[in-house]
Amino acid sequence: MAKKITIIGTGYVGLISAVGLADFGHNVTGVDINKIVVDTLNRGEPHIYETGLRDYLHKNLDSGRLTFSTDVAASIRDAEVIFISVGTPSNGDGSADLSQLFQAADDIKNNLNGYKVVVIKSTVPVGTNRKVADRLAADGTAVDVVSNPEFLREGKAIQDFFHPDRIIIGVESERAKSVMQDIYRSLYLIQTPVVWCNLETAELIKYASNAFLASKITFINQMANLCDAVGADIHAIAKAMGMDGRISPKFLHPGPGFGGSCFPKDLRALAAMGEERGVRMSLVREVIQANNAQKLLVIEKLKDLLNTLNRKTVAVLGLAFKAETDDVRESPAVSIVDGLLRAGCRINAHDPIAMDNFKKKFPDITYCDHEYMALQEADALIICTEWNEYRNLDLNRVKQCMKGNLILDMRNLLNREQAKQTGFIYRGMGR
């Protein structure tokens, strides 16, 4: 049975969830206090970049099943199910800032007019769902809180929403479980596995999953660094490792470190959770530190090869933390560009879609309309993001554009032998 759903927060997770649940046949209202964002979404213009999002947004707006509003109170009263999808950024000590989440909970409490199921989609520390449940039930109003963490990969979020590996649902009442079964009934047709568990388990599954994947990335990055030191090939090593069914080939691609809105924030929160409870999270702490060091490794490599960075012009291709997204939050390119500027470099930058977001952090570097413009008179080229167009750079044209002949390929996109034959000093990751 179709449900009337309100989603508080129309950021990345909230917007993807809104269009997805509307496409399942539910009547969905996305709520945001930012009127400009709401008006833009109601016109069918997404404020984030995600492949396929615009088409799904138009489709479900046109069907009448999806709308966006700034009226938080009315949207709560009209809903049977309320999803909370607000941000939970890091505090200074690494713990999660839950102020937006608790504000949403208070808004719900102040507008309860009958039984509601409140679904927390935001990534929150263990115990948060239960705190929200206690907060909402303080006056005796019937309400059930459900933990339903998201596992959306930026760049593939639409695909992940409609074809998830699994759905995690922390629920402790049969009534709420029945509601959640109705919400995700469309996915039963493709036999998506559902893990039913308690609230604390659902909360920790999200953190455990992200911490493990981040650890895997950090491991292969450190192995790539060792390959550079001993003359081994990380591609062959990763391929052989991935053939082991216990390991799998995913997340065995070396690079300049992980970034984005999830992994760094979630690792910090997980470490803080453990320390708060007297549990040593030494591995998680080491992954955080190693990843920060990995982002700066490229600057050390460049300094060794150029002797000095002062007054050098560096072309940086790729500003988003990964391909197929415009998200630059904690992108390796942020640390790299900041380090280069501190060393006295001039920066020419290009990214297919993330330049506007990067400009908010670095308004004074040179942004170029295409990759070859960024290469003009450059002493060195750094490839930071694995965009497909960078895989097929015309190396002869690159050579003509650049003043120098140094390429630091932090994603191993280019053909190493071809680069050397064209006259470049080529350095990849672990190759």
Joined together, the tokens standing for residue 283 give 């591995």
Tens of pLDDT, residues 278-335: 999 999 999 999 999 999 999 999 999 999 999 999 999 999 999 999 999 999 999 9
Tens of pLDDT, residues 362-415: 999 999 999 999 999 999 999 999 999 999 999 999 999 999 999 999 999 999
Q: Show the 3-state SS of 320-385.
A: CCCCCCCCCCCCHHHHHHHHHHHCCCEEEEECCCCHHHHHCCCCCCEECCCHHHHCCCCCEEEECC
Joined together, the tokens standing for residue 42 give 């109601």
Model pTM score: 0.92
pLDDT at site 206: 96
pLDDT at site 296: 93
Active site (catalytic) residues: 262
> Are the beta carbons of 353 and 313 closer than 8 angstroms?
no
Q: What angle do CA 195, 1, 27 make, to 5 degrees?
A: 95
Mean pLDDT of 85-91: 93
Give 137's pLDDT tier (boundaries 50, 70, 90): confident
pLDDT at site 321: 96
Joined together, the tokens standing for residue 237 give 């090593």
pLDDT at site 153: 92
pLDDT at site 29: 98
Mean pLDDT, the chain, rounded, equals 95
Strand 194-197's sheet: what is its strand order? Answer: 66-69, 27-31, 4-8, 81-84, 116-120, 143-147, 167-170, 194-197
The amino acid at 59:
K
Mean pLDDT of 211-225: 97
- The percent of the chain in helix, strand and coil, each rounded to the nearest 5, is 45, 15, 40
147 SS3 class: strand
Give 32's pLDDT tier (boundaries 50, 70, 90): very high
What percent of the chain shows pLDDT beyond 90?
95
Neighbouring C-beta atoms of residue 257, cutoff 10 Å = 28
How many whole angstroms separate alpha carbon 143 and alpha carbon 109? 10
Q: Give phi and psi for 411, each to the nearest 5.
A: -120, 5
CA-to-CA separations, 369 to 4, 353, 387, 410, in angstroms, rounded: 44, 10, 15, 22
Which residue segments constitute the domains of the chain, with CATH numbers given?
4-197 (3.40.50.720), 231-427 (3.40.50.720)
Mean pLDDT of 228-232: 96
Q: Is the dihedral of CA 314, 317, 320, 322 positive or negative?
A: negative
To which H or E segment does residue 238 belong? Answer: helix 234-242
Tens of pLDDT, residues 181-204: 999 999 976 789 999 999 999 999
